[in-house]
């Protein structure tokens, strides 16, 4: 060793890197030691933080509600943005032929080769993503609707996305992969459910949301048969209005779902309608708003539920 650096025993480095690197300046050298012997020479604080992230691995989450308009896409967009703001490396996958997530993040003319179509049809690796607001995005394309129709004729029709995501997982490039599926129970949604570790279920605070619950549980049970690792991270109440009906619906959710419930996110049509054509998440469009603070609260709850803490 020609240079000196702070000595960090590797077991502690793995367990408590957040604590260990506190008080160090970025770029300051650190020597990793195992059983009193240096094992990794000099590494930077950034390297240590990357090691910490790699240790935690990649969490793959999907929004799921086969009912349309539950706020799947809004949830993926806004939670993804806030996770990226916390320092996590986030990849968004738009697997809905409507391409709402893609368009709402300002990507309007993505060619089909940059979508998931080659992944699903030809086992191609994930294409190069678009950088959007500190996240990476693999955009959708209308022709994914044709892919959905063709997939039943293919082998492993429901496991193709998983194969590509496992490659990315192995590389440790991302902390979070967030998938936005369409409002249907076809092969695109099944691919997402087979690739995911966690499900976020957005439920609108109205009668329609309550009626959908039983079907949701049934479908989640189905997906768990082929992907036993799939777990519900939270049911997220969305579009909560200041009406007796919305409040009653919320109470029903509380009774039925207990501590699986998160939110609610308030119904704010002006804000949600405005940020879509502007290609921005709520956190960018209204950085100092109650709407954003609600979303940040949901992110904190999410990190707790899935066993990851804010960095």
Chosen from ligand ATP, Mg ion, none, partner binding at 148 (C-beta under 5 to 8 Å by type):
none
Shorter beta-carbon distance to ligand ATP: residue 20 or 100: 100
CB of 121 to Mg ion, least distance (A): 22
Nearer to Mg ion by Cβ, of 73 and 191: the residue is 73
Considering the complex, what minimum distance in angstroms separates the CB of residue 1 from Mg ion? 54
Beta-sheet pairing, 30-34 with 37-43: antiparallel
Closest-CA residue to 104 (of 77, 144, 135): 77
Q: Where are the beta strands (DSSP E) in 52-204?
A: 59-63, 90-94, 130-132, 135-138, 176-180, 198-204
- Kindly state the DSSP code that residue 220 receives in the 8-state scheme: H
Which CB sits closer to ligand ATP, 20 or 267? Answer: 267
Choose among Mg ion, ligand ATP, none what residue 269 binds, the Cβ cut-off being 5 to 8 Å by kind: ligand ATP
Instruction: Tell me which residue has its CB nearest to ligand ATP.
Output: 183
Pair of tokens at residue 119? 């992944």
Least separation in angstroms between CB 180 and Mg ion: 6
Taking the complex as a whole, how short is the minimal distance between the CB of residue 103 and Mg ion, in angstroms?
A: 11
Per partner kind, with CB cut-offs from 5 to 8 A, the member of Mg ion, ligand ATP, none near residue 239 is ligand ATP
| Residue number with CB closer to ligand ATP (43 or 271) | 271
Binding site for Mg ion (CB under 5 A): 72-73, 100
Q: How far is the CB of 184 from Mg ion (least distance, A)?
A: 11
71 Rama sector, left if φ>0, alpha if ψ -120 to 50, beta otherwise = left
Provide, rounded to whole angstroms, the least separation between the CB of residue 41 and ligand ATP: 48
Q: For ligand ATP, which is the closer residue by CB, 13 or 295? A: 295
Instruction: List interacting residues with ligand ATP (CB under 6 A).
Output: 65, 68-74, 96, 100, 183, 238-239, 265, 267-269, 272-273
- DSSP letter assigned to residue 3: S
The nearer residue to ligand ATP, 58 or 189, going by C-beta atoms, is 189
The length of the chain, given as a count of residues? 311
Q: Where are the alpha helices (DSSP H) in 135-206?
A: 144-150, 160-171, 187-195
Instruction: Answer yes or no: are the C-beta atoms of 85 and 123 closer than 8 Å.
Output: no
Q: How far is the CB of 234 from Mg ion (least distance, A)?
A: 18
What 3-state class would DSSP assign to 22? Answer: coil
- Closest to ligand ATP by CB, 58 or 102: 102
* C-alpha pair distances (Å), 222 with each of 60, 97, 215: 19, 23, 11
Q: If we measure between CA atoms, which residue out of 48, 60, 59, 58 comes closest to residue 15?
A: 48
Q: Pick from ligand ATP, Mg ion, none: which does 59 bind, CB < 5 to 8 A by kind?
A: none
Q: Are 121 and 146 in contact (CB under 8 A)?
A: no
Which entry of Mg ion, ligand ATP, none binds 69, CB below 5 to 8 A by partner kind?
Answer: ligand ATP
Name 31's bridge partners. 7, 42
């Amino acid at each position: 060793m020609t240079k000196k650096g702070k000595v960090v025993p590797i077991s502690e480095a793995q367990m408590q890197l957040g604590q260990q690197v506190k008080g160090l300046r970025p770029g300051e050298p650190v020597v990793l030691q195992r059983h009193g012997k240096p094992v990794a020479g000099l590494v930077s604080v950034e390297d240590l933080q990357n090691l910490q992230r790699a240790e935690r691995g990649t969490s793959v989450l999907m929004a799921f509600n086969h009912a349309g308009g539950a706020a799947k896409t809004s949830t993926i967009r806004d939670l993804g943005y806030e996770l990226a703001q916390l320092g996590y490396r986030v990849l968004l996958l738009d697997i809905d032929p409507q391409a709402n997530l893609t368009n709402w993040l300002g990507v309007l003319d993505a060619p089909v080769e940059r979508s998931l179509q080659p992944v699903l049809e030809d086992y191609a690796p994930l294409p190069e993503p678009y950088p959007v607001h500190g996240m990476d995005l693999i955009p959708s394309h209308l022709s994914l609707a044709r892919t959905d129709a063709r997939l039943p004729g293919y082998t492993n029709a429901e496991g193709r996305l998983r194969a590509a995501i496992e490659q990315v997982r192995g590389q440790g490039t991302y902390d979070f992969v967030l998938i936005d599926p369409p409002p249907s129970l076809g092969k695109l949604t099944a691919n997402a459910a087979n690739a995911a570790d966690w499900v976020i279920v957005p439920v609108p605070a109205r009668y329609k949301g309550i009626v959908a619950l039983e079907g949701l549980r049934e479908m989640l049970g189905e997906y768990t048969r082929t992907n036993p690792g799939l777990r519900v991270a939270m049911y997220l109440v969305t579009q909560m209005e200041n009406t007796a009906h919305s409040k009653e619906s919320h109470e029903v959710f509380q009774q039925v779902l207990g501590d699986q419930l998160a939110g609610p996110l308030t119904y704010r049509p002006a804000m949600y309608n405005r940020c879509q054509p502007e290609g921005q998440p709520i956190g960018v469009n209204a950085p100092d708003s109650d709407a954003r603070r609600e979303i940040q609260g949901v992110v904190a709850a999410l990190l707790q539920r899935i066993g990851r803490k804010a960095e």
